[in-house]
Amino acid sequence: MARGDGVDRTSARNMRLTTAKLGNAQAHNEREKDSYVNQDIVPERSGLNIHFKEPTGDYLEMFQQMEADGVISTRGIKEDAFRYGELIFDVNSAYFYNHGGYEFAKQFYTEAYQAAIKIVGGEQYILSAVMHADERNRAMSEALGEDVYHYHLHVVYVPVVEKQILWTKRCKDKSLVGKVKETVMQVSMSKKWDSKPIIDETTGEPLLTAKGKPVLKKSYSVLQDDFYQHMVSAGYTDIERGERGSSEEHLTVTQFKVQKEQERLAQIQEAGAFALAETERLNREKEEAEDKAKKAQAKLNNVAPMLKNMEKLAVEFSDDPEKLLPEAGALETAKSYREKKAKPLFERIVKVLRSVYRAYQELKYDYNRLKDSYQREVQRSGTLSARLDEVLAERNMLREEVRDYDRVKRAFGEEQVAAAVEAAKQREQAEKASRRSQRTYDRDGR
């Protein structure tokens, strides 16, 4: 996988296929289509593609014939199970370009096919093995000013494991119960690619956790190791194994680019959905804030005149007491005037003033509270409006990025996108399982 660091790395990827997807794999590998979405395929060069094992017919028909001949067994597996696998072996385009191109690629993948036979478990389980020499590396071609092709090997196979069928209790000869009746090659993708125990290089024994359980190595990592070791043993010592833990280690150049665009699209779509939801929420909050601001303003409009009148009334009662006191009668004594007229009047005045003062304080408090509330709502409305503008601008930018991705998708092709997505899923699952296993190992070790 090219990383721009001048190092040539091997790559081996395993794709799981159902019967529904087998036909598409055949059409792509055997170049049976009239046209291709992938613009990097050059049909004029398809005659240079090399079969190390040419299919004798339709992939599905070959599978069914193998089952009929007893070469494989599908007993107990579902129709929609992963009955087929596809290995894709690869090194970056620059490796073949620097070693002479097509002829060197033929030699390299002739040996890689032998690695595939060992990995699969026998050539009889391989449906097709073809090296593609008709896919142009656009980036390198444009950079070098000449056509550079990306050579890689597709191997479609049936994943099988040896399974022993035992005699059951229904057997008339009870001495045979529990003994091996027959051995079949059972079709099973999960068992074929089960995780393998890690072997201690010093003792040659499996590494164990503190609880005595074996430490497992994920199947895709075993695949990478097996392919790399085989090619180095065959004399190709100027290559390195794909980096562990890297998403690049089992993707072709185009697939890696598409996968990254796919991940980016997912992030964009997620951000777009969030932005849309955020926009709707902000719109609702803006409307609510504006409504509250209007109600607060209305209350202020009602309260302000009342407060003004209260202040006027308080001034009138505290202005000139002589204007409010009644005249004394001609024969009325000072004591009588005080007790019967002045004192009751002042009591009423004090009572009214206290009432007015309480009302004044309450209304003043309500006025100030509503005024502050109004200011807050106005400020909040302004903040939400600014945020809304930001979100709308962000959404427009995301839409443009989505359109850019659609252009990339049309350029790289639907098939490459599907392959990259499937590879990414396998990688993520493997990495998650590896992290869980490592955490368990670390915890047990403590």
Using the predicted structure, report yes or no on whether residue 17 has a pLDDT greater than 80: yes
For residues 54 and 202, state if they share a domain.
yes
In a domain, 384, yes or no: yes
Query: What tokens does 40 get?
Result: 């990097």
Half-sphere exposure of 31 (CA within 13 A, CB side): 19
Per DSSP, the residues of 399-435 read HHHHHHHHHHHHHH-HHHHHHHHHHHHHHHHHHHHHH
Mean pLDDT of 290-298: 74
The pLDDT assigned to 1 comes to 37
For residues 236 and 369, state if they share a domain.
no
Residue 438: how many other CB atoms lie within 10 Å: 11
Using the predicted structure, report yes or no on whether residue 82 has a pLDDT greater than 60: yes
In a domain, 446, yes or no: no
For residues 358 and 319, state if they share a domain.
yes
In a domain, 93, yes or no: yes
For residues 147 and 307, the model is more confident at 147
The pLDDT assigned to 48 comes to 95
Mean pLDDT rounded to a whole number for the chain: 77
In a domain, 376, yes or no: yes
Full-model pTM: 0.54
Residue 228: how many other CB atoms lie within 10 Å: 20
In a domain, 295, yes or no: yes
418-434 pLDDT, tens digit per residue, is 666 667 777 777 777 77
- Beta strand 160-166 with 126-132 is unpaired
**Interatomic CA distance for residues 283 and 385, integer angstroms:** 8
pLDDT bin (cut points 50, 70, 90) of residue 28 is: very high
How many structural domains are present in the chain? Answer: 2
For residues 151 and 208, state if they share a domain.
yes
Which CATH number do you get for residue 374?
A: 1.10.287
For residues 15 and 78, state if they share a domain.
yes
The pLDDT assigned to 292 comes to 74
The pLDDT assigned to 379 comes to 73
Which CATH number do you get for residue 16?
A: 3.30.930.30
In a domain, 5, yes or no: no
The pLDDT assigned to 249 comes to 35
159-199 pLDDT, tens digit per residue, is 999 888 887 888 888 888 778 788 889 999 988 888 777 77
In a domain, 31, yes or no: yes
For residues 239 and 281, state if they share a domain.
no
Mean pLDDT of 299-304: 69
Which strands form 126-132's sheet, in the order they lie side by side?
10-17, 84-91, 152-157, 126-132, 50-53
Cβ–Cβ under 8 Å, residues 189 and 159: yes
Long-range contact list for 201-209, CB < 8 A, 24+ apart?
209/440, 209/441, 209/444, 209/445
Mean pLDDT of 250-266: 52
The pLDDT assigned to 277 comes to 67
In a domain, 30, yes or no: yes
**Tokens 């006191």 sit on residue:** 325
For residues 279 and 138, state if they share a domain.
no
For residues 232 and 176, the model is more confident at 232
Mean pLDDT of 107-122: 96
Using the predicted structure, report yes or no on whether residue 253 has a pLDDT greater than 50: no
For residues 104 and 153, state if they share a domain.
yes
For residues 94 and 237, state if they share a domain.
yes
For residues 109 and 166, the model is more confident at 109
The pLDDT assigned to 52 comes to 97
pLDDT bin (cut points 50, 70, 90) of residue 144 is: confident
For residues 136 and 28, state if they share a domain.
yes
For residues 87 and 208, state if they share a domain.
yes
400-419 pLDDT, tens digit per residue, is 766 766 666 666 666 666 66
The pLDDT assigned to 99 comes to 92
Mean pLDDT of 131-153: 90
Using the predicted structure, report yes or no on whether residue 16 has a pLDDT greater than 70: yes
Kindly tell me the number of DSSP H helices and DSSP E strands found in the chain: 12, 9
For residues 309 and 103, the model is more confident at 103
Share of the chain above pLDDT 70, in %: 66
For residues 231 and 360, state if they share a domain.
no
354-386 pLDDT, tens digit per residue, is 776 677 677 777 777 777 777 777 777 667 667
pLDDT bin (cut points 50, 70, 90) of residue 118 is: very high
- Nearest residue to 436 via CA among 195, 246, 200, 243: 195
Angle, to 10 degrees, between the axis of helix 414-445 and the axis of helix 219-233?
100
Cβ–Cβ under 8 Å, residues 192 and 81: no
For residues 247 and 109, the model is more confident at 109
pLDDT bin (cut points 50, 70, 90) of residue 218 is: confident
Q: Which domain holds residue 377?
A: 272-403
List of residues 6+ apart from 337 with CB closer than 8 A: 328, 329
The pLDDT assigned to 211 comes to 72
